[in-house]
Amino acid sequence: MSKPIIAVPADTSFFQDAVWHAAQQQYVGAALNVAGAMSFIIPAFEEGNDIDALLDRVDGVLITGARSNVHPSLYGKEATEKDGPFDPGRDANTLPLIRRAIERAMPLLCICRGIQELNVALGGTLVSEVQELEGRIDHRQPAEGNRDDAFVIRQPVTIAEGSCLAGVVDAGEIQVNSLHRQAISDVAPNLSVEATAPDGTVEAVSVIGAKNFAVGVQWHPEYWASTDAPSRKIFEAFGDAVRAYRAAAKS
């Protein structure tokens, strides 16, 4: 069987006086080399993309992290300058893409900004500057050091007993690289909390009643997917689901 193909929504970037539609190599590299799936990068147009036509041609969806944040108007709040930066083209694609992937029982893995988009797409809310909340730790990326130092695995999370992730990486405590200043506030009604940080921050969710793999994680399994066992297992589980979906569609 040929390799399955997944949809990866692009971010809008500005480089050399031009607008680029791009995805980071860590995500598409982990998809190819660990999950065993090739990627179609979907341009972040605010209008014009046909979500169902896109999903007709792929076997799964990977929603990546990004520097931008989901616009607060999409979860009922007024935007302030510190809530940014924003990427309206990405928002316009990821939210309907998430909803339709779930409705069509397609494998779905949402990472960092992706878990926040998953929560918003299904009716939840977000909180900005989580480190400013009483009792919370600072989850932000360290200001100093190189990229590998920033993404080092340093924070414990606890995987809930009986959760989808427990079936992938086992229940209990694992170490992750969670880097964010926004987080889930009100959990969407159709999401189940899969993992939490020691300060109670939601670190992973799954879609209740999903007919396929549909998981969001706040940390970055893509970064060390080739060397860290829990990170690798998450991408392998996603890849297994994508291949099974493709096989069923071809049968």
Q: H or E segment at 157?
A: strand 155-159
Task: For residue 35, give the DSSP letter.
Answer: I
Q: Is 159 helix (H, G, I), strand (E, B) or coil?
A: strand
Contact between 197 and 189 under an 8 Å Cβ cutoff? The reply is: no
Amino acid (1-letter code) at residue 119: N
> 48 has which bridge partners?
none
Distance CA 230, CA 117 (A): 23
Nearest Cα to Cα of residue 26 among 106, 111, 84, 149: 111
Residue 194 token pair: 């899969």
110 is annotated as an active-site residue: no
Closest Cα to residue 141, out of 220, 233, 81? 220
Q: In whole angstroms, what is the distance from residue 112 CA to residue 150 CA?
A: 15
Among candidate residues 71, 139, 180, 220, the one labeled active-site is 220
The set of residues, in sequence order, having a beta carbon less than 8 Å from that of 25 and lying 6+ positions away, is none
Decide if 112 is catalytic.
Answer: yes
Active site residue 222: yes
Active site residue: 117, 194, 203, 222, which one?
222
The span from the CA of 223 to the CA of 139, in Å, is 17
* 46 C-beta neighbours (distance < 10 Å), count: 13
* Residue of 71, 112, 194, 203 with catalytic role: 112
Phi/psi for 139 (5° steps) reads -95, 5
Residues noted as catalytic: 112, 220, 222
